[in-house]
Amino acid sequence: MFDTAWWTQNVALIPVYPLLAFFLVVFMRGALPAIFGADSATWKSIEGPTKTLSMLATVTATFMGLLHTWPLVMQLLHGNLLPYQVNEPWLQAGQFVLSIGYLIDPLSVMMLFVVTFISLFIQIYTHGYMGHDDGYAKFYGYLALFNFSMLGLVLSTNLFQMYVFWELVGVSSYLLIGFWYTKKDAADASIKAFLMNRVGDFGLLLGILGFLYVSYGWWQDLLLTNPDEVLLSFTGIEALVTGSPAVLAAAPMGVIAFLIFMGPMAKSAQVPLHTWLPDAMAGPTPISALIHAATMVAAGIYLVGRVYPIFQLSPEAMGAVAIIGTITAVIAASIAFVQYDIKKALAYSTCSQLGFMMAAMGCGAFAAGLFHLFTHAFFKAMLFLCSGSVIHACEDEQDMRKMGGLWNKLPVTAWTYLIGTISISGMFWTSGFWSKDEILVGAQNFAMPIFWILAVTAGATAFYMFRSFFMTFAGSYRGEAHVHKEIPAMVLPLAVLAVPSIFIGFLLSGSPLLANIGWTFPGFVELITPGYLTHAAHGAAHHGPFSHGDIANISMAFGFGGFALAFMFYVKPLNTVPGKIKTMFSPLFTLFANKWYFDELYNNFLKLIYLPFANFTSRFDKGFVDGIVNLVGGGIWTGGGAAQALQSGRVQSYIATIFFGVVVLALLGMVWWLP
């Protein structure tokens, strides 16, 4: 019998399972060959079963986490989830105590379900995709380590604990992106991702320390009166901002909020710290689906949601988040127009959708941004897995110009890719329709220019996504590779993920029509919105010129416009119109094809400014700083040698030295006292 009480009471085990799986894989792939001998017949006989066991351990660990999460999801849907946190002392220095624990509330339950559910099917998919790879078992070990890091981040009760797991997620992504380290582009991409995320993480650390500095006295009082609380806990941040705003009135909260935002800027690939994400497509496709579509990049949105009260203290910070998110959505969409690599087209799509989410958070549409995070996770993970199925079938070909006509050869992949394309385009009744419209509602309440930019970008999304669909599956096959059949282990996760990609948005939309099918659960907005936010604060009220129905119509009009253009250009070309358009707007196409020259800008900054400055400081350090140190050391050495010479042990020398000192002192005294 499924005892839900036991599963919910032992939520702390959720990240423990993948950690144990990771150590098991490390033992089997590291210790056993050393024990039996890597070339021994014994090891050769058990190598195959250990690979299978690595897969089973990782998949089972994720499935166990999903079992722990499901009762919490049902409690959330029924409205009887009681938020709570459990903490234990971790590090202590005098009265300064850091704690580690886990927090259960609507936001963490939502993310737990996303991470465990999607990770489970990606790991099943990996069995088919990586089945013949020499690093099969090691790859599953890295997957387990990543899951441990991500689940620990989601369950964190305070900013210090989250920062630790935040960095572990970065390390895990580095290992997974560079898994095929013998390929130069994969190795370079992993280093680029690691370094660019360090830039954002440095800002995040400064923001955390700055916030602690300005509020430390309040935390001391809180911890004295409430021993169950911990330093920089998320529940404490909410209580501080909503109950004692005078404590932070004189603090530079805009600066602190923006420093904290630098972490999500890098992790969630916001301009200008976005260039690592498309390059990370050099890693295996399951990683593209897991890290760069559904989980890791969502961590930045999750962090902003966790510390949302801090951002609300500064209208300037909220405006900056909204503007940066909007710029990211537009720039990434424009680059996706001209991509021919199927994975990079989806990568820039991810950047654009993350921009939508971040813009929603900045516009005050708290629940709308998280709603889109939730729906996007399902259809974008499915789209990346579809691209992996295509690449695998086409013998590692990723150029869409060498595809086409794959509908009949890869039917399940084609249907699920079409479902994902329709959903991300925000077509009527699909998951993306409901969440993207909530974002547009919040945008019009905040600023009409942002509303129109995002609405047009939604149409651009439909264009580049249907472009990728038509180039891959419509027309006739243009490639040279032999197209292989679909693998059951790879298409099964696609079919499963297609279901929430269609229906999950409607089921959580809060629409009155749900009563007709007996669905009595609240909508996502009501489920996820914290108590300190009013209904208007997360974008459900309508203060702009358009009603919700008007916004839906506008969104659909732009979406169908994007579909129509893609159909005309890539299915029924109108003679030479696409070529003429490309010629007419050649500067724009060049700009988009060169990804707005961000990489060139960074390279020139490094070559012309950073490296010369680093060389100057290096020479200054060696010449001036080291020179002073060497001079002091040399002076001490010389003085010590002179003093040593005086210690000769001869009485005559000591008497002469004393006599000479007395004479010098007498002369100095005479000079001093003479008029």
Q: What is the pLDDT of residues 404-418, one digit of tens each?
A: 888 888 999 999 999
Contacts of 381 (CB under 8 A, 6+ apart): 118, 121, 122, 289, 290, 293, 294, 497
587 with 629, same domain? no
Residue 106 lies in a domain: no
Residue 328 lies in a domain: no
Position 539 scores a pLDDT of 44
Residue 377 lies in a domain: no
653 with 581, same domain? no
Answer yes or no: is pLDDT of 216 > 60: yes
Residue 396 lies in a domain: yes
Taken as a whole, the chain contains a residue count of: 675
Nearest C-alpha neighbor of 65 from the set 102, 98, 30: 102
Position 134 scores a pLDDT of 80
Q: How confident is the model at residue 540 (pLDDT cuts 50, 70, 90)?
A: very low
Bridge partners (DSSP) listed for residue 104: 84
589 with 605, same domain? no
What stretch of H or E contains 86?
A: strand 84-93
The stretch 207-226 carries a mean pLDDT of 89
pLDDT digits (tens, 9 = 90+) for 228-265: 889 889 988 988 888 877 778 778 889 999 999 999 99
Q: Count how many domains the chain has.
A: 2
- Of 540, 568, 593, the position where a domain reaches its end is 593
407 with 469, same domain? yes
Residue 306 lies in a domain: no
Stretch among 134-143, 221-230, 625-634 having the lowest mean pLDDT: 625-634
Answer yes or no: is pLDDT of 211 > 50: yes
Is residue 579 within 8 A of residue 319, CB to CB? The reply is no
The stretch 634-648 carries a mean pLDDT of 72
538 with 649, same domain? no
* Long-range CB contacts for residues 515-524, cutoff 8 Å, separation at least 24: 521/77, 521/78, 522/77, 522/79, 524/367, 524/370, 524/371, 524/374, 524/435
540 with 586, same domain? yes
The stretch 120-141 carries a mean pLDDT of 86
User: How many angstroms separate the CA atoms of 518 and 512, rounded?
Assistant: 11
What stretch of H or E contains 336?
A: helix 315-336
User: How many angstroms separate the CA atoms of 573 and 468, rounded?
Assistant: 15
Token digits for 661? 């000192």
Position 509 scores a pLDDT of 83
Which range has highest mean pLDDT (359-363, 537-541, 549-553)?
359-363
Nearest C-alpha neighbor of 111 from the set 169, 58, 60: 169
Position 65 scores a pLDDT of 94
The dihedral of CA 531, 534, 537, 542: what is its sign?
A: positive
pLDDT digits (tens, 9 = 90+) for 42-81: 766 776 777 888 889 999 999 999 999 999 999 998 888 8
Answer yes or no: is pLDDT of 33 > 80: no
- Of 546, 569, 593, the position where a domain reaches its end is 593
- Of 593, 619, 643, the position where a domain reaches its end is 593
HEC profile of 179-207:
CCCCCHHHHHHHHHHHHHHHHHHHHHHHH
497 with 622, same domain? no
623 with 587, same domain? no
535 with 418, same domain? yes
592 phi, psi to nearest 5 deg? -65, -40
pLDDT digits (tens, 9 = 90+) for 360-382: 999 988 999 999 999 999 999 99
- Rounded mean pLDDT of the chain? 86
Which range has highest mean pLDDT (474-488, 536-550, 648-662)?
474-488
Residue 222 lies in a domain: no
What burial class does residue 327 get, using C-beta atoms within 10 Å of its C-beta: 0-12 exposed, 13-18 middle, 19+ buried?
middle
560 with 435, same domain? yes
Query: Furthest-apart CA pair in the chain: how many Å?
Result: 115
Position 44 scores a pLDDT of 67
Token digits for 437? 């419209």
User: How many angstroms separate the CA atoms of 6 and 67, rounded?
Assistant: 11
The stretch 334-340 carries a mean pLDDT of 90
Residues of the domain holding 630: 599-673
515 with 607, same domain? no
DSSP codes, 87-153: EEEEEEETTEEEEEEEEESHHHHHHHHHHHHHHHHHHHHHHHHSTT-TTHHHHHHHHHHHHHHHHHH
Q: CA 658: distance to chain centroid?
A: 75
494 with 615, same domain? no
Is residue 390 within 8 A of residue 405, CB to CB? The reply is no
Token digits for 367? 């629940």
Position 382 scores a pLDDT of 92
pLDDT digits (tens, 9 = 90+) for 174-198: 999 988 888 888 899 899 989 999 9
pLDDT digits (tens, 9 = 90+) for 384-438: 999 989 998 888 888 898 888 888 889 999 999 999 999 999 888 889 898 998 9
Residue 42: CB atoms within 10 Å: 11
The stretch 522-547 carries a mean pLDDT of 68
Residue 363 lies in a domain: no
User: How many angstroms separate the CA atoms of 336 and 186, rounded?
Assistant: 21
Residue 204 lies in a domain: no
> Please, how many CA atoms are within 13 Å of residue 480, restricted to the half-sphere of its CB?
0
One-letter amino acid of 616: F
- Per-residue buried b or exposed e for 480-513, using 16+ beta carbons within 10 Å of the residue's own CB: eeebeebbeebbbbbebbbebbbebbbbbbbeee
Is residue 555 within 8 A of residue 430, CB to CB? The reply is no
Q: What angle do CA 347, 506, 64 make, to 5 degrees?
A: 70
Token digits for 539? 């974008």
| Bridge-based pairing state of the strands 84-93 and 96-104 | antiparallel
Position 1 scores a pLDDT of 47
The stretch 449-453 carries a mean pLDDT of 94
